[in-house]
């Protein structure tokens, strides 16, 4: 009987240990699966954070580059406009200088001579500002007479500042005012200046 009892105790112990081992194995397996899930979730979150940070960094870099390019374009446009204004001022100063010099009368006469040479130019009028006409009338009339340009009339008009205009056959006038000549010369020079600026980039 005592042997049977001992056998029974041994069997109970054995069964208990096996059950405990099975339970322990289940617990360890569940814990291991949970740990793997936690690690996987953490890795996925870390990957997402890294991806989002990389995308944000690329967006900021692109935004910065775009802003820098725009600032460069704005600076270049501003510089070109500044050069164009300076060019206009320089050309304007030179035109005014020529128009206020002794060469002005000769310039008027040579321009009239060119127009008088055209077959359809029977009647020419030279329009000058009142002060220029008062200063130059004698010289202009003498020069025009010397070149046998008798079909030319001198007139005063203060609607423009410096220079002169020529009217052919009482029709359209050709503008050689200081402002018109300055604009024409600046327009002619401006593309060349722009080309030089582009070549310097």
Domains defined along the chain, listed by start: 103-200 (3.30.2320.30)
Tell me the whole-structure pTM to 2 decimals: 0.56
Cα–Cα dist 12/17, whole Å: 8
Contact 112, 126 (CB under 8 A): yes
Structure confidence by residue, pLDDT tens digits, 26-82: 877 877 878 788 888 878 887 888 888 788 888 888 888 888 888 878 887 787 778
What Å distances lie between residue 115 and 72, 104, 126, CA to CA?
48, 17, 11
CA dihedral (85, 90, 94, 97) positive or negative = positive
162: left (phi > 0), else alpha (psi -120 to 50), else beta?
Answer: left
Task: Please report which helix (H) or strand (E) contains residue 57, including its range.
Answer: helix 2-99
């Amino acid at each position: 009987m005592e042997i049977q009892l001992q056998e029974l105790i041994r069997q109970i112990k054995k069964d208990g240990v096996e059950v405990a081992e099975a339970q322990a194995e289940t617990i360890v397996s569940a814990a291991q699966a949970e740990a793997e899930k936690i690690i996987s979730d953490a890795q996925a979150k870390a990957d997402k954070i890294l991806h989002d940070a990389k995308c944000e960094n690329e967006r900021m870099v692109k935004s910065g580059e775009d802003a820098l390019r725009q600032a460069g374009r704005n600076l270049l446009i501003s510089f070109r406009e500044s050069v164009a204004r300076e060019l206009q001022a320089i050309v304007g100063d030179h035109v005014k200088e020529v128009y206020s010099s002794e060469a002005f009368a000769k310039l008027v006469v040579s321009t009239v001579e060119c127009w008088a040479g055209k077959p359809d130019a029977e009647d020419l009028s030279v329009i000058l500002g009142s002060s220029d006409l008062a200063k130059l009338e004698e010289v202009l009339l003498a020069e025009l007479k010397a070149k046998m340009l008798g079909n030319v009339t001198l007139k005063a008009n203060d609607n423009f500042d410096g220079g002169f205009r020529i009217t052919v056959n009482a029709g359209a006038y050709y503008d050689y005012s200081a402002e018109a000549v300055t604009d024409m010369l600046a327009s002619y020079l401006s593309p060349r200046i722009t080309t030089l600026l582009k070549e310097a980039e």
